[in-house]
Structure 1
């Protein structure tokens, strides 16, 4: 059997979705090499993954790492963690945009990014507004293949404790059963489902810009990548 020659790069490999994505990409055999760009050392038991500690403020210095087939961006933080709107914007806007520019310059075929339900440049909420601005700027870059994933409340084990999300997650088990019809897009969704959907979409030959809403991502549950995990 001919081995794949595809390569990938993951930004945000230590986050909720990023960790699930790394696990999936390590085992699905789609890539011969997956570069993980992180701020601090992490342990990854995989012959496919290669960890690189980088300064995200100087991404252009790691140009050679962006010479890959697909780039996955799972970067994201909160105002509470970032401490300020400026710091939040740097992680959720500046880094993803800079990464996309470098990826395009190096001929990456696909750019897949986790956004958020409600992303809108005109939103009254700062978080949603920044997400909307990211999507808008990425669109203007005219990337060969841009895939934007907009999950609702993410379910899964986080490193940091978020009281609001923890309470919502506990309630989601009951709420998801009654949130049908027009309410379906607001159901909580497992982070690994989002990661699995990203992996599956990356194996397609779809060109142009595509947005996947939370309930559409959730409907991808039947894919083999999800069944394995």
Structure 2
């Protein structure tokens, strides 16, 4: 049976890869994308809604599907403040999830971060952890949390810190073995593929996947 996928953050690094995977798949006959601004992208399967993310409740009737994929995310530098960062990485994903759960969406799959913990002393990781805690309480058939380490890929905007981090992590990956493998950098397109693959497994309950496991899932057939 063909399904409907809902995607948030389809214009970002990982989301853009995931969107193409969904559109090229024969599993989904409809893909609904919520964006801030129209992208101009056209595809027979794609329905795009440019919405006000501050008022998600206004669009409840549009949230109708089987699997919701959330690739929303920013940086504190790009957001401009911790308050705005919280909106993008905590409030928007959790507010969409609450509506989706109430509307009968079966699966919710989201990109978090390695080390996410609501009790962390690091604001970034604490915010990610708070979002995970909200999701854990919602009535989905399945919730899949993807915790990648540094994401590799060509972003639309240049981030000097991440470029330096990419270089360091590529070198560090040579010594990140055993239990440390989960800290290896990973290509965004592999995270996207892993999200898609997990969605097809129709798992039950709450699951967390870190970088090393994500890499394995991405190559599974």
Taking structure 1 as the reference length, what is the TM-score of the superposition?
0.92
* Displacement of 1:45: 4.3
Does residue 1:10 correspond to 2:7, yes or no? yes
Superposed CA deviations along residues 103-147 of structure 1, whole A, max 9, x for unmatched, are: 011100101111000101111110000000000111122322111
Instruction: Using the TM superposition, give the Cα deviation of residue 184 of structure 1 relative to its aligned residue in structure 2, in angstroms.
Output: 0.8
1:73 corresponds to 2:70: yes
Q: 1:132 aligns with which of 118, 121, 129?
A: 129
Count of equivalent residues: 221
Alpha carbons 2:197, 2:218 under 8 Å: kept:
no
Normalised to the residue count of structure 2, the TM-score between the two structures is 0.96
Post-superposition CA distance 1:129-179 (Å, at most 9, x none): 000000011112232211100000000011121111101212333322332
Counterpart residue number, 1:106: 103
In structure 1, what is the Cα distance between the partners aligned to 2:2 and 2:176?
A: 43
Q: Is the 8 A contact 1:115 1:151 kept in 2?
A: yes
Written as runs of structure 1 = structure 2, the 5 A alignment for 1:156-171 is 156-171=153-168
1:37 alignment counterpart: 34
Q: 1:172 to 1:43 in 2, by over 3 A?
A: farther
Offset of residue 180 of structure 1: 1.2
Q: How much has 1:205 moved relative to structure 2? A: 2.1
| 1:55-106: CA deviation from partner (whole Å, max 9, x where unpaired) | 1111111112211001111111111111111111011111111101110111
Aligned equivalent of 2:193, options 196, 206, 209: 196
Does residue 212 of the first structure (1) align with residue 209 of the second (2)?
Answer: yes
C-alpha separation in 1, matches of 2:55 and 2:27: 29
Runs (4+) of structure 1 exceeding 6 A deviation are none
SS at match of 1:32: strand
The answer (yes or no) to whether the contact 1:8–1:70 under 8 Å persists in 2 is: yes
* Structure 1 runs not aligned, ≥5 long: 225-229
Do the aligned residues in 2 keep the contact of 1:12 with 1:75 (CA within 8 Å)? yes
Q: Tell me, what secondary structure is at the counterpart of 2:173?
A: helix
